[in-house]
Amino acid sequence: MTLETISKAKAFDGVQGVYRHQSVATNCEMTFAVFVPPQAKKQKCPALFYLSGLTCTHQNVMDKGEYRRMAAELGLIIVCPDTSPRGEDVADDADDWQLGKGAGFYLDATEAPWAAHYQMQTYVRDELYDLVLANFPIDPARVGVFGHSMGGHGALTLALKNPEKFKSCSAFAPIVNPSSCDWSTKALTAYLGEDKATWRNYDAVQLIEDGARYDTILVDQGSADGFLDDGLKPWLLQDACEKAGIDLTLNMREGYDHSYYFISSFMDDHLRWHVARLG
């Protein structure tokens, strides 16, 4: 697969790159970013996939996430995919920021017109995973995943279903039970259809209820998040993990909202946490 380099910049003695390729899974060009720390010049390094939230691209965390200094110190490769397929031929709802471009929800759509391109689970889990492992000095035994909001939902569901690929998992303000939230049920209906039984495969709380297990999960959530009560509901994940015996650390951060001010405040904590588990 041809990998096109869009840009490269030196940062903290590492390299922040942006790349493009033609995706088979999404049937369009996809753009992603990779930060490679200085340690990768001599050895393979652990890697983290960071999944962004609604309306975002790979660029948001690059500009606002403040991860490079700590990633360079710890020797972590950071992979930042886009949140959805892009292009003129890709289905969209320009009037709804919770559906279409920027709102892929990290699932594989089955309904028209979305199914033609919206195969984000397969893209991240298989195609991009294999692509970055083939082109960057990543230790395949030390790969984790984390994300924010819709991306936190993606991180949780990907890890719960693929613990052999994603050896560590954390999230900032994740959508833990999208089947019960107004801002995600419209997307699930559009992408997957009316049968809510099919939604369970993309719902962290319901995956756990159905038997999915993971060793340990870290979640940070701001108490002043405007989406807390209606869209995020971290207490539902806490309850599901307690019943399943999953070790969940849920940090309620007083006064923090849903923005990248919140994410950047605790980014270092998450990177250290992942390294402690990935080695």
Q: For residues 214 and 159, is the Cβ–Cβ distance under 8 A? A: yes
Active site residue 258: yes
Count how many Cα atoms sit within 13 Å of the Cα of residue 60 in the half-sphere of its side chain: 20
Cis bond leading into 113, ω under 30°? yes
User: Helix/strand/coil (H, E, C) string of the chain?
Assistant: CCCEEEEEEEECCEEEEEEEEEECCCCEEEEEEEEECHHHHCCCEEEEEEECCCCCCCHHHHHHCCCHHHHHHHCCEEEEECCCCCCCCCCCCCCCCCCECCECCCCECCCCCHHHCCEHHHHHHHHHHHHHHHHCCEEEEEEEEEEECHHHHHHHHHHHHCCCCCCCEEEECCCCCHHHCHHHHHHHHHHHCCCHHHHHHHCHHHHHHCCCCCCEEEEEEECCCCCHHHHHCHHHHHHHHHHHCCEEEEEEECCCCCCHHHHHHHHHHHHHHHHHHHC
Distance separating alpha carbons of residues 187 and 175, to the nearest angstrom: 13
Residue 75 identity: G
Active site residue 58: no
Active site residue 95: no
Catalytic pick from 58, 148, 153, 258?
258
Catalytic pick from 82, 108, 203, 225?
225
Catalytic pick from 149, 168, 170, 184?
149
Q: Which residues are catalytic?
A: 149, 225, 258
